[in-house]
Amino acid sequence: MEIWFLGTGAGRPMKHRNVTSIALRLPDPDCSLWMFDAGEGTQHQLMRTPLKLGKLEALFVTHLHGDHTYGIPGLLSTRSYVGGNSPLQLFGPPGIREMIETALTLSSTHLDYEITYHEVFEGVIYQTERYTVEALPLEHRIPCFGYRITECESQGKLNVELLQQLGVPAGPLFGRIKKGEDITLPDGTLIRAADVTGTPVCGRVIAIAGDTKPCDNASRLAQNADLLVHEATFAAGQEEKAHLYGHSTTVEAATTARDANAKRLIMTHFSTRFVEEDLAALEEEARAIFPNSSAAHDLYHTEVPRVRG
CA–CA dist 13, 35 (Å, integer) = 19
Give 100-152 pLDDT, tens digit per residue. 999 999 999 999 999 999 999 999 999 998 999 999 999 999 999 999 999 99
Mean pLDDT of 159-173: 87
Beta bridge pairs of residue 261 = none
- Rounded to the nearest angstrom, the gap between the alpha carbon of residue 295 and the centroid of all alpha carbons in its chain is 16
| Average of per-residue pLDDT values in the chain | 94
Feature table: binding site: 63, 65, 67-68, 140, 211, 269
Feature table: binding site for Zn(2+): 63, 65, 67-68, 140, 211, 269
Q: Report the pLDDT value the prediction gives residue 306, as an integer from 0 to 100.
A: 83
Mean pLDDT of 29-52: 94
Q: Report the pLDDT value the prediction gives residue 254, as an integer from 0 to 100.
A: 98
Edge-first strand listing for the sheet containing 300-303: 115-119, 88-92, 56-60, 33-38, 21-25, 2-7, 300-303
CA–CA dist 232, 213 (Å, integer) = 10
309 pLDDT exceeds 60? no
Mean pLDDT of 30-59: 95
Model confidence at 61, pLDDT cuts 50, 70, 90, reads: very high
Q: Report the pLDDT value the prediction gives residue 156, as an integer from 0 to 100.
A: 74
Mean pLDDT of 236-258: 97
Q: Report the pLDDT value the prediction gives residue 141, as an integer from 0 to 100.
A: 96
Pair 123, 135: CB distance under 8 Å: yes
Give 89-99 pLDDT, tens digit per residue. 999 999 999 99
Q: DSSP 3-state assignment of 70?
A: coil
Which one is catalytic: 37, 67, 226, 298?
67
Pair 230, 248: CB distance under 8 Å: yes
Give 169-221 pLDDT, tens digit per residue. 888 888 888 778 899 988 888 998 888 888 777 899 999 999 999 999 999 99
Percent of the chain scored above 90 by pLDDT? 79
The C-alpha R_g of the chain, in whole angstroms, comes to 22
Catalytic annotation on 30? no
Nearest in space to 234 (alpha carbons), one of 260, 204, 273, 197: 273
Structural domains of the chain in order of their starting residue, each with its CATH number: 2-153+202-303 (3.60.15.10), 160-195 (no CATH)
155 pLDDT exceeds 80? no
Nearest in space to 229 (alpha carbons), one of 48, 23, 12: 23
CA–CA dist 234, 274 (Å, integer) = 9
CA–CA dist 79, 52 (Å, integer) = 9
Cα–Cα separations (whole angstroms), residue 30 to 24, 57, 130, 207, 236: 12, 10, 9, 20, 40
Pair 21, 38: CB distance under 8 Å: yes
Q: Report the pLDDT value the prediction gives residue 308, as an integer from 0 to 100.
A: 56
Q: Which residues of 215-239 are buried (b: 16+ CB within 10 A; e: fewer)?
A: bebbbebbeebbbbbbbbbbbbebb
